[in-house]
Amino acid sequence: PSVEGPTAPPIEDPVAPPFQQALSGLPFGVALHDASLRYVYVNDALAAINGHAVAAHAGRAVEDILPAPVAAEVRALLTTALETGVAVPRVRVRGRTMHD
């Protein structure tokens, strides 16, 4: 399956169905982004934290989903990871979203 944003070209879903099932049930948020930092996948927990449906994230930029201060912090972390090739595990971003 593929997902599409309002003006974004289609993105192939990188998470195979069995893994989606496993990730969707985790009690913490998980997101995958493309190189333009558009959401490609979010699990149910992150969708609830962000206050938007899972499907509403698809193809949208971080700034389209998160409030400005939180989006800026997330974008900085993700940009650094892309530029350095070093993953940033266990990220904890503090701030308000649509839902605490």
1 against 21, higher pLDDT: 21
Q: What is the predicted pLDDT for the residue at 12?
A: 56
CA torsion sign, 73 to 97 to 61 to 17? positive
Over 50: is that where the pLDDT of 4 sits?
no
Please write the tens of the pLDDT for every residue from 55-73: 999 999 999 999 888 889 8
Q: Cβ-count burial of 63 within 10 angstroms (0-12 exposed, 13-18 middle, 19+ buried)? A: middle
Nearest CA among 79, 83, 80, 31 for reference residue 58: 31
Please write the tens of the pLDDT for every residue from 32-45: 888 889 999 999 99
Over 70: is that where the pLDDT of 99 sits?
no
Q: 0.85 exceeded by the pTM? A: no
